[in-house]
Chain A
Amino acid sequence: MSVSEGTGGRGSRRIALVIGAGSVKCAAALGLQKVLDREGIGVDLVVGCSGGSIYATFIALGIDVQTAEEITRRLWTSELTKRRHYLSLLRAILPQIFPFRESFGLVDDRLILDRLQIAFGKRTFEDARIPLYLTATDFHNGEQVVFSSGKLVDAIRASIAIPYVFQPWTIDGRLFIDGFLTDPMPVGVAIKHGANVIVTLGFESAYQRRTTSVLRFAFQLSSIMSNNLLRANYAFHNLAHHAEILPIIPQFRESIHLFDTHKIPYVIEEGERAAEQQLPYLRRLLEAPP
């Protein structure tokens, strides 16, 4: 079973799901999907950013929770970062010999690309049952870019181009980097496309306990900036618009690291629990006259 396209008979209510950045924590979206399936609540559009773009795509394509969980286990493993992109390293430390290029990323991305191809193949946005919007950031001007057509693999790869880790991704001559750099939880995209009931699943980035390397230092800076960006954008969208925003905030008692795929069942469980907390209000809202 999978989340269905928007249900009729609820007046002018237009429901969006927004799944924000959060690496493996984004699998909590599968818990949310379970709750919506069970309750028969359809959605009208799905928005995804960074890790959330993978789950937004599952939902929009109509892939059921169990299959999505199985794909996640195969897709998102620690092997992804094992193979270094040595040329980038050389370009960083010896730029006089190996001129630095903006396509910088410390990890060889061939494995993630192969796995995205296996998961989504040649499917395009047009294959989605529910309108799907995935966000990335234009590397050259810092603007948010919203993909709604073309190959899904391209859009997801652009959306998950984690700075320093994966190289920015080129589509039609434009260079894109991770969507979280413009908005880790792109509620604005849902508002722009007419949603007035917006269910959001977002995560704050964890801070480093110890900053023992240059990369960890860079991650810490990135977390500080993205968490503040998340709060600032969330506050703006909450207060500046008429849309109802229902935040689903899973509370993880265990720490979840980037590639803790063995914790996916737990992550899904917490997503389900957090979604259930919003359910009474979501039901009331959908039953109330518009």
Chain B
Amino acid sequence: MVIEVEKRGHVTVVSVGGSVDGTTAGELTASLRGQVTGGNHRLVANLAGVDYTSSAGLRALLETVKEARQHGGDLRLAAVRPEVLRVLDLSGFTSILQVFPDVGSAVASFPA
């Protein structure tokens, strides 16, 4: 799994690559939690490089959403591939998470 973090104004973009599953979810959770505890509550997960997600991956995302929202922020998803989007959709994630076609629009969705 590849995780890269960059700041875009007041939003933190976490770009993830590879498979988000039971063998990698811990690493992703730690990275996202690190951002939230470090005060970066406005997060965009760029999932353009994610080709697979399992239930463990979904739980990692949900955990971060809860923590970010508890701090007044949010985790928003960008550039989700169709095969991953199908799983997000089936598991109800698209009804509770904001999903954007690209990173730019996800970043712009946060108020200035």
A residues whose Cβ falls under 8 Å from a Cβ of B: 230-232, 234-235, 237-239, 243-247, 249, 277, 280-281, 284-285, 288
Supply 20 A–B pairs (Cβ within 8 Å), ascending by A: A232-B92, A234-B90, A234-B92, A235-B91, A237-B55, A238-B91, A239-B55, A239-B58, A239-B59, A239-B62, A244-B22, A244-B56, A249-B87, A249-B90, A277-B83, A280-B19, A281-B52, A284-B21, A285-B22, A288-B23
Alpha-carbon separation in the docked complex, A285 to B54 (Å): 11
B69 at the interface (CB under 8 A from A): no
Partner of B91, one of A234, A280, A284, A288: A234
Chain B residues, CB < 8 A from A237: 55
Q: Mark B54-80, 1 if CB is under 8 A from A, else 0.
A: 111011001000000000000000000
Chain B residues, CB < 8 A from A285: 21-23
Alpha-carbon separation in the docked complex, A234 to B94 (Å): 13
Interface residue count for B (Cβ, 8 Å)? 18
The 6 A-B pairs at the shortest CB distance, nearest first, are namely A235-B92, A245-B55, A238-B55, A235-B91, A238-B91, A244-B22
Cβ B87 vs Cβ A247 within 8 A: yes
Alpha-carbon separation in the docked complex, A238 to B22 (Å): 12
Cβ B62 vs Cβ A281 within 8 A: no
Chain A residues, CB < 8 A from B22: 244, 285, 288
Cβ B91 vs Cβ A239 within 8 A: yes
Cβ B54 vs Cβ A245 within 8 A: yes
Cβ B58 vs Cβ A238 within 8 A: yes
Task: Give the distance to chain A from B66, nearest Cβ to Cβ, in Å.
Answer: 11
Question: Chain A contact residues: over half helix, strand or loop, or mixed?
Answer: helix
B86 at the interface (CB under 8 A from A): yes
Closest chain B residue, CB of each to CB of A232 = B92
Q: Which of B74-111 contact A (CB under 8 A)?
A: 83, 86-87, 90-93
Alpha-carbon separation in the docked complex, A45 to B21 (Å): 22
Alpha-carbon separation in the docked complex, A288 to B62 (Å): 24
Most A CB atoms within 10 A — which of B19, B22, B23? B22
Cβ B92 vs Cβ A243 within 8 A: no
Alpha-carbon separation in the docked complex, A280 to B18 (Å): 12
Partner of A231, one of B58, B83, B90: B90
Task: Give the distance to chain B from A165, nearest Cβ to Cβ, in Å.
Answer: 26
Alpha-carbon separation in the docked complex, A11 to B76 (Å): 37
Closest chain A residue, CB of each to CB of B52 = A281
Partner of A246, one of B54, B59, B62, B91: B54
Chain B residues, CB < 8 A from A243: 55
Chain B residues, CB < 8 A from A244: 21-22, 54-56
Task: Give the distance to chain A from B65, nearest Cβ to Cβ, in Å.
Answer: 11
Closest chain A residue, CB of each to CB of B56 = A244
Chain A residues, CB < 8 A from B93: 235
